[in-house]
Amino acid sequence: MRGAAMSLTAAASGLVVFLLSVSVVQGQDDWGGNYTSTEVYAVKGSTVEINCTYKYPSTIKGSQNKVNKTFWFIENSDGNPVDVTTVSEYAGCVEYRCENNICTLRIKNLTESDSAEYKFRIKTNLAQYAAAPGVTLFVCLSVTGLTVQFEPTHANRAELKCQSSCLVPSGHYVWYENGEKSTTSIYSTHLFTLGSTDRYSCALKGHEDFPSPAVYAPRLPSVSVSAEIKEGSSVTLTCSSDANPAANYTWYKVNGNQRLPPLTTEPQLVLSSIQVSDSGQYLCTAENTLGKTSEVIPIDVKYPPKLPSVSVSPSEIEEGSSVTLTCSSDANPAANYTWYKRNQTLPLGVKGSYNFTSIRSEDRGNYYCKSENQYGEVNSSSKYINVQYAPKPPSVSVSPSAEIEEGSSVTLTCSSDANPAANYTWYKKDEDSPKASGQIFTITDFSAEHSGSYSCGAQNKLGRRNSTLTLIVVADHCFSGSWKLPAAVTIPVVLLAVISLSVFLWIRRKRASRDSSEPEERADIREECVPDQPEQQEDLQYASVHFNNNRADPLDSNMRAARPLRHTEQQEVSEYAAVKFSSAAPRTRGQDSEEDPAALYSTVNKSR
């Protein structure tokens, strides 16, 4: 009956029937039925024909035996035969055709329920006969529904089994390797080596146009990245591999040759808010029952520059030496650098290092660099470049710069530009021992014995420079009463002194000529008090001298101290102040007005 179905799993249409080539002859006493095959395989929706060639005896016990009916039947659940033409499920789908002792059962539009054992029966006027065991019809859902199953056998070998919705006897299969038909594999199973890259498929013999889907181990995986891999972003890595059966995936991170514990068993690996520490090698494995393969992908996390560090070489810097500033910053991709000097707007360079071939003292200051790439920029902290140099020529000043009286205190100050700061030492000419140390030298109770040349030495570990100041004080016996010591005179005042003293000398010479008839005593006094003139007048420098014309008061002499002189690098300067007082005996206001105390003068010699 059409309801006695086998459980099948596919569908097809059209006439697709194949018979197993087994001839069966049944019969006794000249009764018999010959089926072309005892098993018939057909596809759902197709039409199948089952043939039976029969024979029967013409007489039975002297009586003529004639065929009354031939038919195909199936057995019901009680085991009783049922003519298929009388079963409602077959209505319109079955037909008989008998000619020349050949009866054919034709079933159209096959369904799974048509799978059954069909038998042929003869009825005569004297007896009936059934050809047993009959023909079993298998209705397959589809000949394209074949699958290949994997069954491991031992270490590196496995068995592939071709499975169909039809129960096809062994020996009626075809196997394919990489699309090529195998000439030796005709059974439902096929052995292969694990790890093989070959593709395997099978088909039913006679239906080679409908092979099973090929099975194969996973091909080398490919990995795609969802977004740019930069610090803080979310990145998804997707692994895919061509495989049948479908591959299973596992993600690992690799440390050298060591595989770390699995990160996920999904095809996608999600790295949320990726960090620099996530950089490294990642491994994706694709595996199915036929084999396993893997692929490594490097993950390089991009990030903006970190805070740069600045180094200086050498650590101690002397003027004139070669100095290199180096800026370094962790960045991916590598950073570009720009150098700046603090409070200087223009960049000094655009490389990771900046070189001074011969650094100057003016180059000292704070330097910093900017590190930048496409993801950001950052400035370094400032680095102070301390350029050391020998002392520059010192300058000397005198205090007080106004009138200096005998017995007062005189302070000499020496200053020099130097790095590291200079140490100062004071010397007096023709004396071996230093007079004092320190930037300031003070002479208390100043007197004539303090006259002389004083030198200031400025020294640090890189060199020494000197400057000399000469103070000359002459106490003249020509004066009565007290006198005052003029201040030490520095070089710039000398220019003004030249003009004043030239006038004094001209007046003096004129008077000397006019007064040649004076008494001998006056001449002697004047001769004694006139100072010796230098031989080379061009070397004379004069300072301005102020006189007090009040005869009742002691004679005053004022010298103004000039600004300190900054000397050139290759020059040592000596400053001299020579003061002498010359005058006749004190007079009253009634005396000759031409006898003027203008004869008092001062000379300042600048030594070269």
Rank 5-14, 103-112, 302-311 by mean pLDDT and report only the highest. Answer: 302-311
* Interatomic CA distance for residues 572 and 559, integer angstroms: 24
Q: What is the CATH number of the domain that holds 356?
A: 2.60.40.10
Q: What is the pLDDT of residue 416?
A: 94
The pLDDT tens digits for 69-95 are: 888 999 888 888 899 988 888 888 999
Q: What is the pLDDT of residue 523?
A: 36
Question: Does residue 210 belong to any structural domain of this protein?
Answer: no
Sequence-separated (6 or more) residues with CB below 8 Å from residue 447: 406, 407, 473
Question: Does residue 460 belong to any structural domain of this protein?
Answer: yes
Domain shared by 401 and 417, yes or no: yes
Q: What is the pLDDT of residue 144?
A: 67
Instruction: Answer yes or no: are the C-beta atoms of 271 and 280 closer than 8 Å.
Output: no
Phi, psi of 353 (to 5 degrees): -130, 150
Buried b (16+ CB within 10 A) or exposed e, 66-102: eeeebbbbbeeeeeeeeebeebeebeebbeeeeeeee
Percent of the chain at pLDDT exceeding 70: 70
Domain shared by 228 and 184, yes or no: no
Sequence-separated (6 or more) residues with CB below 8 Å from residue 69: 122, 123
The pLDDT tens digits for 512-537 are: 554 444 444 443 433 333 334 333 33
The pLDDT tens digits for 205-260 are: 777 888 889 999 999 999 999 889 999 999 999 999 999 999 999 999 998 888 89
Q: What is the pLDDT of residue 167?
A: 67
Instruction: Answer yes or no: are the C-beta atoms of 456 and 393 closer than 8 Å.
Output: no
Rank 92-101, 207-216, 266-275, 501-510 by mean pLDDT and report only the highest. Answer: 266-275
Last residue of a domain, one of 388, 412, 442: 388
* Interatomic CA distance for residues 98 and 106, integer angstroms: 11
Rank 6-10, 85-89, 357-361 by mean pLDDT and report only the highest. Answer: 357-361
Domain shared by 187 and 236, yes or no: no
Question: Does residue 92 belong to any structural domain of this protein?
Answer: yes
For residue 48, pLDDT beyond 50: yes
603 vs 407, residue with greater confidence: 407
Last residue of a domain, one of 120, 140, 160: 140
Question: Does residue 103 belong to any structural domain of this protein?
Answer: yes
Domain shared by 158 and 227, yes or no: no
Give 42's pLDDT tier (boundaries 50, 70, 90). Answer: confident
Domain shared by 294 and 313, yes or no: no
Domain shared by 419 and 466, yes or no: yes
The pLDDT tens digits for 408-454 are: 898 999 999 999 999 999 998 888 889 899 999 999 988 888 888 88
Question: Does residue 8 belong to any structural domain of this protein?
Answer: no
The pLDDT tens digits for 570-580 are: 334 444 443 33
The pLDDT tens digits for 89-100 are: 888 899 988 888
For residue 360, pLDDT beyond 50: yes
Q: How much is the pTM?
A: 0.52
Domain membership of residue 245 as a residue range = 222-299
Give 159's pLDDT tier (boundaries 50, 70, 90). Answer: confident
Question: Does residue 5 belong to any structural domain of this protein?
Answer: no
Last residue of a domain, one of 87, 122, 140: 140
* Number of domains the chain is built from: 5
The pLDDT tens digits for 578-589 are: 333 333 333 333
